Amino acid sequence: MNTSLSFFKKNRRASIALVVIAALILFTAALAADGILDPAFGMNGIIIADLGTSSDSGIGVALQPDGKIVMLGSAQGTPVLLRYNSNGGVDNAFGTNGKLTVNFGASVVVQPDGKLLVAGSPNGNLTVARYNKNGAGLDNTFGSAGIANFPAHPGWDRYSFSDLALQPDGKIVLVGTQYNQGNFINLVV
């Protein structure tokens, strides 16, 4: 039990650090090894992504095996994935001009083959979608048409997603909270 908690605490810190580094999509910066902005990344170490709305926000960030940077953000409540080259330039080969609108999103993780897992809790369920690494939409070989859905347990109100991780063997771990008439029960799937 302590080993599992330690694993999640370590990964939770890494996830939080990555989200902060993603700097919330509107103001993304890359730091060199010495903690100084990397002037070779974006424009003097910073990327400013305009998703076209007045309330854009960043949610998460992940690195693909080829060094590309994938960010999960929100444009006026609509979740999107953005992909950048390792130098901070938009990767126009991903989705449409570097952007892919997704069904939901609270966390993003990259599998070893580069495919993207996006998780969240739409409609009170724990849900994971897998997208092709090039942003060409859902990977239909995963779950049902690219989405694995874990509905709330009968008699319980809903699930609320918290975090997503991959085990070394590739298994997917979701963490969330189950709600029932005002009671909160933490769970791991």
pLDDT for the residue 186:
65
**Which of these, 106, 102, 95, lies nearest to 160 by C-alpha position?**
106
pLDDT for the residue 30:
61
Q: Where are the beta strands (DSSP E) in the chain?
A: 28-29, 46-47, 56-63, 69-75, 78-84, 99-101, 107-110, 116-120, 126-131, 147-150, 158-166, 172-180, 183-188
Its pTM stands at 0.78
Residue 151: CB atoms within 10 Å: 13
pLDDT for the residue 146:
96
pLDDT digits (tens, 9 = 90+) for 16-42: 333 333 333 334 556 666 778 888 888
Q: How many CA atoms lie within 13 A of 47 on its CB side?
A: 28
pLDDT digits (tens, 9 = 90+) for 94-122: 999 999 999 999 999 999 999 999 999 88
pLDDT for the residue 16:
36
pLDDT for the residue 184:
67
pLDDT for the residue 36:
84
pLDDT digits (tens, 9 = 90+) for 145-171: 999 998 877 767 777 888 999 999 999
- Mean pLDDT is lowest, of 31-35, 79-83, 170-174, for 31-35
pLDDT digits (tens, 9 = 90+) for 43-75: 888 888 777 777 888 899 999 989 999 999 998
Q: CA angle, corner 142, sides to 163 and 153, nearest 5?
A: 55
